[in-house]
Structure 1
Amino acid sequence: MNRKLVIVASVVLIVALSFIGMNGLKSLKKQPKKDVNRKKVPFVKVEQVVYKSISTPIVEKGRLLSNLEVNLSSEVSGRIVEVGVPLKVGQRFKKGDLLLHIYDQDARMDLQAQKSKFLNKLAQSLPDIRIDYTDRFDAWMDFFNAIKLDENLPALPEINSGKEKVFLASRNILGDYYAIKSSELKLSKYRIYAPFNGSYVQVNTQVGAVAGMGSKLASIIESKRLELQVPVDSEDIKWLHIGDQVDILSSEGDQVASGKLLRKSEFVDEGTQSIAVFVGLNRNSSQLYQGQYLTAKFQGKQIKNAMEIPRNAVFRSNRVFVVEKGLLKEKQISVIKRNENSLIFNGLAEGDILVTSVPVKAAENMKVQFLKN
């Protein structure tokens, strides 16, 4: 019994001594002192203010349009007959091709009947002209012989006297002549010829349909004379001038053509607050089509004594921070031009240390460290 008590007491003593020893070793280890007054000084990116001449290119996307688009309308009524150029959207044609033909046989026959009556009246008048206006007979006889039923009337002989005019008016020769000329003009409206090389962009009728007077039949464009319509921010329009050279870029950024600024709109689009400008392309290309979207790079102009910085370096429209003796100081700048991601300015002294990356909760006299870009 005494032996068991001795063993238990020995174990308890060993455990107690071990615990005391461990606490003693912990107390020997020095704990680092916390510096509650120490503050972390933030780093900021800066640039030294240096002024130079800066180019101000303006890059905007636009849509290609034909420089010339014409709506074909009917000035007469009748059935549309087939011609050599198919009446289909996208169909190409050459200048002078017959695009539309409205059935005109009845109008043509009426015109020939008018000419026949006119010839009859002239034939009846020639004997009187030979007697009363002997010196004018040859001229009128030549005019009579020159008239062809299937051709336009030749020009009237020159009237040399008042008596001759009275004679012609009394026989209504002048009235009949100009009535026929009017019918000839009307007959020409039954056929519409291509005024340029181009293609159909819209077709509102088909062969066999009846065209009404004044109805829109189709729309055509001149394929090669294209211009780029580009919306430009109203604040940037002052940098663009008529005649400026423009680079035309594809969606991949490759230059596909060059152009010249032709005109600027004098109104602002209400929806986008932009002003449309139009660029004429200098080089025709079969790879460019109406409706295609391309990028226009305007050269703008050189701005002297200026500097370009990121837009996020500026706050409250025209305020920046500079570093003076390790402290932030707020200063005002003069903004010359705002780009999508940058800003061009002056107004600071050259050599100032300008903060280009403003820290969170930045304030006047805040202590900072800087990394110079």
Structure 2
Amino acid sequence: MRKILLSILGILLIVISIFAARQIINNKKRPKSRVERSVKTVFVDTVQNKTVPIVIESNGNLLAKRRVELYSEVQGVLKSSYKLFKTGQRFKRGQSLLRIDDSEYYSSVKAQKSNFYNLLASTIPDLNLDFPEIAPKWQDYLNQVSVDKALPSLPEMASDKENYFINGRGIISNYHTIKNLENRLSKYNIRAPFDGILTQALVNEGTLVRNGQKLGEFIDPSIYELEVAISKTYGYLLKEGGQVTLSNLEGTQKWTGDVVRINGRVNPETQTVSAFIEVKSEDLKEGMYLNASLMAKEESEAIEIPRKLMLDNNEVFVVKDSLLAVQKVNPVYFSEKKVVLKGLADGTVLLSEPVPGAYPGMLVRIAEIENATDSTSTETKKGSAP
């Protein structure tokens, strides 16, 4: 009996425990869950389509349009000239840039002229006998010949007989030999081909100059050219005569130039087309690095936005009923920082600043411009779930 009673009490205790546990579970109140909902503040612009000028940005180094590299075609010692042959020295057109000692060569030229004079003098008596009608003409020419001056041009031949006679005496061949010597003699004195400035001087007075040696560089500082490389994608937009805005790296100075030439060949390595911009200004110097803004064309019914707002697959974020949505657009031109696009209707609310972690359907609040101080600021609201 004792075992039976203990068994019955054990079973009753288990049943009461189960019943009590169920009562406790059923009577327990469930707390309502609280969900944090983040609403980011965004900055927007209202789309207003208009005509957008497409400006191609590029840069390059400035070079003088008229420049001469000076080389010696003769050999000799460099002599002092009217002005020192030094970098930064300015010369007028026709002024002597440098002079090479020509005393030895000049003496040989004078000797050749003297021989030519004697040849003419010995020919005059024969002309008086055989061609008395043309003898005075050659006598006048003989009187013009001087060993200290450039040889004058030969008289015109009046007939074939005169030509044969003069050629037979070797006068014409001697004349051309001397003219060739005179031409070489002029190379000892290099003159400025235009008003300009010496930008490089590689020799000094007293230096032995050799044939083919580079002496320096001479430029015209009044007109420059800027070569810029434009992607072949936009090469068709370039037109000769188009105006270009140039600026220095700091953006503190601006100049206006013109597109004067466009290369007809695409660089196979960079796939770019070279355009040459002509610009004139006293403030410019050769070698300056300039930025160029080429006005290529105008695109109607378009807008311009920062490139950072463009998504993959040519999409942008717009705001509809306080929710973000993506919309397909048609970009027509990309620059380094901007993109010109079409496909957005007037009045569309477009994000003006990127939103970190943005996704379609995201709940947002449009910032009030007058109170906005930071384009990346966010605001979080808390609420209870229904």
Whole-angstrom distance in 2 between the partners of 1:92 and 1:68: 15
Deviates more, 1:77-86 or 1:42-51: 42-51
Whole-angstrom distance in 1 between the partners of 2:305 and 2:113: 82
SS of residue paired to 1:112: helix
Preserved contact between residue 249 and residue 291 of structure 2 (Cα < 8 Å): yes
Partner of 1:12: none
Partner of 1:111: 109
- What aligned pairs does 1:1-373 form with structure 2 within 5 A after superposition? 35-37=33-35, 39-232=37-230, 235=233, 237-251=235-249, 253-265=251-263, 266-268=265-267, 270=269, 275-282=273-280, 284-285=281-282, 287-371=283-367
Preserved contact between residue 247 and residue 255 of structure 1 (Cα < 8 Å): no
Letter in 2 for 1:354: L
Whole-angstrom distance in 1 between the partners of 2:170 and 2:354: 94
SS of residue paired to 1:323: strand
SS of residue paired to 2:302: strand
Deviations 1:239-270 (A, max 9, x none): 44221223333455344532212223444495
1:336/1:372 CA distance change after superposition, 3 Å: farther
Unpaired segments ≥5 residues, structure 2:
1-30, 370-386
Deviation at 1:357, TM superposition (A): 3.8
SS of residue paired to 1:195: coil
Preserved contact between residue 198 and residue 219 of structure 2 (Cα < 8 Å): yes
Amino-acid identity (%):
34
Letter in 1 for 2:325: K
Partner of 1:25: none
Letter in 1 for 2:294: F
Whole-angstrom distance in 1 between the partners of 2:132 and 2:75: 46
Across the two proteins, how many residue pairs are aligned to each other?
A: 338
Deviation at 1:339, TM superposition (A): 3.0
Whole-angstrom distance in 2 between the partners of 1:242 and 1:66: 19
Deviations 1:309-328 (A, max 9, x none): 23222111511233344443
Deviation at 1:235, TM superposition (A): 5.0
SS of residue paired to 2:133: helix
* TM-score between the two structures when normalised by the length of structure 2: 0.78
1:226/1:343 CA distance change after superposition, 3 Å: same
Deviates more, 1:190-199 or 1:347-356: 347-356
Deviates more, 1:334-343 or 1:68-77: 334-343
Whole-angstrom distance in 2 between the partners of 1:288 and 1:337: 31
Whole-angstrom distance in 1 between the partners of 2:237 and 2:158: 65
Whole-angstrom distance in 2 between the partners of 1:188 and 1:76: 10
Whole-angstrom distance in 2 between the partners of 1:218 and 1:299: 38
Let me know the Cα RMSD of the aligned residues: 2.7
Whole-angstrom distance in 2 between the partners of 1:176 and 1:37: 110
1:142/1:205 CA distance change after superposition, 3 Å: same
Whole-angstrom distance in 1 between the partners of 2:43 and 2:32: 30
Preserved contact between residue 269 and residue 275 of structure 1 (Cα < 8 Å): no
1:342/1:94 CA distance change after superposition, 3 Å: same
* TM-score between the two structures when normalised by the length of structure 1: 0.81
Deviation at 1:59, TM superposition (A): 4.8
Whole-angstrom distance in 1 between the partners of 2:236 and 2:92: 41
Preserved contact between residue 261 and residue 279 of structure 1 (Cα < 8 Å): yes
Deviation at 1:350, TM superposition (A): 3.1
Whole-angstrom distance in 2 between the partners of 1:335 and 1:119: 81
SS of residue paired to 2:311: coil
Preserved contact between residue 147 and residue 154 of structure 1 (Cα < 8 Å): yes
1:49/1:257 CA distance change after superposition, 3 Å: closer
Deviates more, 1:235-244 or 1:108-117: 235-244
SS of residue paired to 1:207: coil
Letter in 2 for 1:100: L
Preserved contact between residue 49 and residue 345 of structure 2 (Cα < 8 Å): no
Unpaired segments ≥5 residues, structure 1:
1-32
Letter in 1 for 2:305: I
SS of residue paired to 2:275: strand
1:252/1:290 CA distance change after superposition, 3 Å: same
